[in-house]
Amino acid sequence: MTVGENTIQIPKYAFSEPRRNLPGHTGANTAEDYFTLAFAQAYHDRQAQVHRSSKKTKFCFAREIPVNGYGIADLVWVAWADTGAHSFPDASSFITQAKPTMRAFELKLYNWRKAMTQAARYRYFAHQAIVVLPFHICKNALPYIETFKRIKVGLWGFQPEDTSITPFFTPRPQKPLSTRHYHQTIHKIASMSMPSLPIA
The per-residue pLDDT for range 91-118, each reduced to its tens digit, is: 888 899 889 999 999 999 999 999 999 9
Q: How far apart are CA 1 and CA 138, in angstroms?
A: 25
Q: How far apart are CA 196 and CA 62, in angstroms?
A: 10
135-166 pLDDT per residue, tens: 999 999 999 999 999 999 999 999 999 999 99
- pLDDT greater than 60 at residue 1: no
| Cβ-count burial 22-41 (b if 16+ within 10 Å, e if not) | eeeeeeeeeeeeebbbbbbb
- In contact, 114 and 132? CB cutoff 8 Å: no
The helix (H) or strand (E) run that includes residue 104 is strand 101-107
Q: What is the pLDDT of residue 12?
A: 65
Q: What is the pLDDT of residue 157?
A: 97
What is the domain partition of the chain in residue ranges? 29-192
Biggest CA-to-CA distance, the chain: 51
Q: How confident is the model at residue 190 (pLDDT cuts 50, 70, 90)?
A: confident
**Whole-Å CA distances, 6 to 41, 62, 90, 98, 186:** 9, 17, 30, 27, 26
Give the three-state DSSP class for 153.
coil
CATH number of 29-192: 3.40.1350
- pLDDT greater than 80 at residue 6: no
* CA pseudo-torsion sign 89, 198, 98, 127: negative
Q: What is the pLDDT of residue 197?
A: 73
Residue 170 vs residue 187, higher pLDDT = 170
23-66 pLDDT per residue, tens: 444 455 789 989 999 999 999 888 888 888 888 888 888 888 88
**Which one-letter amino acid corresponds to residue 28?**
A
Q: How confident is the model at residue 88 (pLDDT cuts 50, 70, 90)?
A: confident
194: DSSP letter: B
